[in-house]
Structure 1
């Protein structure tokens, strides 16, 4: 196996080959791809979009991806998947109340990533290519001889407990808690608990690995780095810290299933080979990962609590400048040094909608109730902020420099309200008394 480039750097042109000579050199190459491979282009943006945002990759594969039979709805259809919903959610609930969930219970039997996806909420319209879906996943078994392709949107995957091995057309990515990965729209892949044997014939160990976490399915414009504005050239996420996979292929010739997400439904077809048979590739569309420990955190050095926008790692823009289809913001361990200021997030109501998740540790505005693997949703204009215990402690805390250690909350912030699925709204692990978090905030203003 050879690697032409060390593949890191967000959005740049990359190249990689798993076999020497598989990647054509220059424009004087023969009319056929090297080594008997098939050349194929993946265009993730319209052909005439500006060069700065154009995304496409060339792949050189053993079998052309066009070689397949008709797709047919999964046997469960309709709905195509009992747990995976897309916007608009016909039976969903647009709820103005503040909602919070405990961690989703583990599945009762072996469950692969695809079957382990369960939707919490969505907005927009998947057919109009706007909005997002927010899901939780459990993976306790590998996707043995089964592969997924999401034509509806790219998938930002945040493991919370247990690493995930992503086998993609472009190579392998091992994603640990504290990292996240993005699978580009239309990329074929499989997701396995790291360490699992993905052969259908191989038995699993008695204590097989498992992984659980969060997924943001982005129907809209692809994720990109936010503009830095007055921050300048440095800060937040640096392009060089995004890692693309090295080319690796599966030369597997037996019957497998390819599942495609299209129009909010799941369809499947049968192949006689693995769809992950790309021997070489070059371009800027595919899959990548990022370690949130590399995030260069900005903050206030004197007064005031900064807005969460300075924690934006990636953004999917909308047609309205500054109103993102979705922002992905993360809050890694950091120093807090503001003086004469209430340091936790203040009480607030926003036109934007906030979905929070927690990889580890605690959230700095919640004393209890929000635990790793859990989630909260504050739809647009829902009043929220610190609970009573946090407010009391923060109001009287000594304002010495403080290091917030060991925590990793994150947020999907979106311009549209989120509609919650009926299943998530009625789930036994949704906390019915979340409003109680603020019930102890008694009047302090003196009476006449």
Structure 2
């Protein structure tokens, strides 16, 4: 039971903090400044209730400065390297400068709402993007939630979750899309050939006909693409990341999405695909032939090396490759001479990631089962549908057939359409280990 006493015209309440002093006596905490005993008693009873239910916040803990808590919270996270980099940048640039001098327990909802308005004003001025602002608020909200539920620095979060349907409805504005046309892809691939040779040509068609994420393409090694895979699969039979039934693809050309290439702690490393979405993708015959010729034309460990032979990671891909492919480029002379490259207006200011979106459109357009489509995209179906659904060889075969039919229709209808000469195949002994094998978790060697 709380103890009430008057001090200098104000009421003070003391309650047991749930701990004992070194001498064995109970440790009490207190709060003063109340005008009447009932208010003080109710306050003390609330604190004892929190002690009994394990939700009590120690005064010294609530006074933890945000400048300390931000980084303690960050160090406790266990997320993918790219996510950790994003969180670190947000804390360093946006959260710590604004909240660093405040105690975690002193931040109020009104102060949070005011900060949120300043961020939205910055968006309207064009200083930051709406997506970046959403990320800032998400990180801060996670910090505050953890300060309540995990670290007991506060009793409630200052971030009030808005109830669905409350307030004025605002429709989410999405960038308009247009169907991914083969003619557009051909223009991109032709430009890529001028910039990057046959590797660029194959890169565009592979991105469009597999739906792989860009960094998955960057990390694609020659041992994981037909004709080498699955006969030269370097993974052990009991590796959980390995295709559970590689023999299934003995007669069905396929590639294995095993890694993505990322920069971690200033080192280039192979890491698991996003969401641990290891998967096998059947490829149409024309793409299998394209990959066969491409692998025979170089001995780099990567299927798609940069034009200097090294990995694409670290090449400033957007500026060096994608923007000239998409927006065009004037003619060049000298060591890197090339003709003028025309722009592709349909892709103006668009991300290369939209080739992945286009692949999903094709799969939906051709009527493939949802489980086959989502699995190919590296997604998992939730609920009962995800439990019962399964991708069968027949589904995969129909995907490869529909993609091949799309290619053949384009080539046939576009008679006279330009196709680059295949690189001259080199003698390759597929019975030996593929040279230049890159192992995960280490810095790949650059050529």
TM-score (norm 2): 0.20
Structure with greater contact order relative to length (CA < 8 Å, sep ≥ 6): 1
In proportion to residue count, which structure has more helix? 2
When Rg is computed on C-alpha atoms for both structures, the one with the higher figure is 2
Q: Which is strand-richer, 1 or 2?
A: 1
